[in-house]
């Protein structure tokens, strides 16, 4: 009987935990139930990337609880099935190796133009804009025609030196360049405003770009005109320097010839004046009028040279008289008989030769000036 009681007591003792009141749990554990103890730690699993699919066709990854709760209720899967693609893996490995050998170069910065939405036709050949450009073309052509006429008029103008003529041509061309540049600029800007504000939807980015073009284009036109002006002015200065140098060289040679001629004329005049005191020589001068004319012309030219005058007509007359005298056979024969007259005759021939050389220098000077004019006309 006692054993049964003990068993009963044991039975009562075994089931006694279930009969512990709810408040006892709070006294023993400090929380309402066992589940509450685990819920109080929130799992926070962080996983890495899945591995490449191996031949075993099982991908893996590693996951860890950031909070370290020690529970695994919310732990994600660390393995999953996959399909192994040998060709793809091989291709990726080859690409990586190739990239290591030949690294890709960075592409240059590309600026994408703003998108402009146009609801109407923007082609000037189809929307009537061609009439604007046709009008500008007519105006520009007319201005070019008038410019050519002005240049032709300047070329035909007499009394202008080559340098002055070149400067006048340059001034006319400069005005024409400015006019044509401004007209082209005006046409482009006007048509762009017509396109952006009438044919297309207003785009602020495009507007600022258009505004920048309006500001920059006059600067470009000015630079072009300045470059042309610099080229023209440099050409004029170079041409002037070349012509001036050549002119001065020839003038210097002419001055040397003049000095030689003056010395010879003085010597001849003095010799003739001395011989004229002889009666026989006065008879010779009476018989040969050209000799007397030559004597008086030499005296007159000598006085002109002393006053720095250049009398081309008197020089030509003297040369002609010497030529006529030299072509008289009787005078030449007489010179062979009279030594004093022969000396005068030889000096007259030498003087004639100097005049010919001087004339050649004047011809050379004329050719040089003509060459400069032709070069200027070609450059224009």
At 83, the pLDDT band (50, 70, 90 cuts) reads confident
Give CA–CA dist 296/290, Å, rounded.
10
Neighbours of 335 (CB within 10 A): 20
130-156 and 162-194 are packed helices; what angle lies between their axes, rounded to 10 degrees?
Answer: 170
Least confident of 16-30, 196-210, 303-317, 362-376: 16-30
Q: Does domain 247-379 fall into CATH 1.20.120?
A: yes
pLDDT for res 4: 42
**Per-residue b or e along 134-164, where b marks 16 or more CB atoms closer than 10 Å to that residue's CB:** eebeeebeeeeeebeebbeebeeeeeeebbe
Give CA–CA dist 116/113, Å, rounded.
9
At 230, the pLDDT band (50, 70, 90 cuts) reads low
User: How confident is the model over 186-197, as a mean pLDDT?
Assistant: 78
Q: Are 54 and 83 in contact (CB under 8 A)?
A: no
At 47, the pLDDT band (50, 70, 90 cuts) reads very high
User: How confident is the model over 246-263, as a mean pLDDT?
Assistant: 76
Give CA–CA dist 143/37, Å, rounded.
100
Neighbours of 243 (CB within 10 A): 20
329-337 and 339-379 are packed helices; what angle lies between their axes, rounded to 10 degrees?
Answer: 130
At 28, the pLDDT band (50, 70, 90 cuts) reads very low
pLDDT digit string, tens, across residues 270-320 = 877 777 777 777 778 777 777 878 877 787 777 777 666 666 677 777 788
Average pLDDT, the chain: 74
Residue 150 predicted with pLDDT over 80: yes
At 111, the pLDDT band (50, 70, 90 cuts) reads low
Beta-carbon contacts of 132 under 8 Å, excluding residues fewer than 6 positions away, are: 124, 187, 190, 191
pLDDT for res 316: 76
pTM of the model: 0.34
Give CA–CA dist 347/268, Å, rounded.
7
Q: Are 283 and 340 in contact (CB under 8 A)?
A: no
User: How confident is the model over 332-347, as a mean pLDDT?
Assistant: 82
Give CA–CA dist 169/369, Å, rounded.
17
* DSSP string across 43-111: --EEE-PPPP--TT-EEE--EEETT--S--TTPPPSEEE----HHHHHHHHHHHHHHHHSPPPPPPP-P
């Amino acid at each position: 009987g006692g054993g049964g009681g003990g068993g009963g007591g044991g039975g009562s003792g075994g089931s006694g935990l279930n009969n512990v009141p709810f408040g006892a749990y709070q006294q023993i554990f400090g929380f309402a139930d066992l589940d509450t103890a685990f819920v109080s730690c929130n799992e926070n699993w962080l996983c890495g990337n899945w591995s490449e699919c191996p031949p075993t066709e099982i991908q893996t990854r590693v996951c860890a609880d950031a909070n370290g709760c020690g529970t695994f209720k919310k732990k994600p899967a660390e393995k999953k099935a996959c399909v192994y693609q040998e060709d793809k893996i091989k291709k990726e490995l080859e690409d990586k190796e190739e990239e290591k050998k030949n690294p890709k170069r960075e592409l240059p910065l590309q600026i994408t133009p703003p998108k402009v939405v146009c609801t109407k036709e923007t082609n000037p050949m189809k929307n009537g804009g061609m009439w604007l450009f046709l009008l500008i073309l007519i105006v520009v052509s007319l201005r070019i025609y008038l410019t050519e006429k002005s240049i032709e008029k300047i070329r035909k103008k007499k009394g202008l030196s080559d340098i002055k003529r070149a400067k006048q041509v340059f001034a006319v061309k400069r005005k024409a360049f400015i006019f044509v540049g401004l007209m082209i600029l005006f046409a482009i800007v006007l048509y762009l405003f017509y396109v952006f504000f009438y044919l297309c939807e207003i785009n602020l980015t495009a507007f600022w770009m258009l505004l920048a073009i309006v500001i920059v284009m006059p600067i470009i036109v000015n630079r072009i005109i300045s470059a042309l002006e610099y080229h023209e002015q440099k050409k004029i200065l170079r041409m002037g320097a070349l012509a001036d140098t050549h002119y001065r060289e020839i003038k210097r040679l002419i001055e040397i010839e003049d000095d030689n001629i003056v010395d010879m004329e003085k010597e001849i005049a003095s010799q003739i004046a001395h011989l004229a005191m002889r009666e026989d020589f006065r008879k010779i001068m009476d018989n040969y009028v050209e000799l007397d004319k030559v004597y008086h012309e030499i005296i007159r030219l000598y006085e002109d040279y002393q006053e720095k005058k250049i009398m081309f007509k008197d020089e030509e007359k003297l040369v002609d008289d010497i030529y006529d005298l030299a072509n008289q056979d009787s005078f030449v024969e007489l010179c062979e008989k009279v030594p004093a007259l022969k000396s005068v005759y030889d000096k007259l021939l030498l003087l004639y030769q100097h005049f010919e050389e001087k004339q050649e220098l004047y011809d050379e000077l004329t050719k040089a000036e003509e060459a400069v004019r032709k070069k200027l006309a070609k450059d224009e």
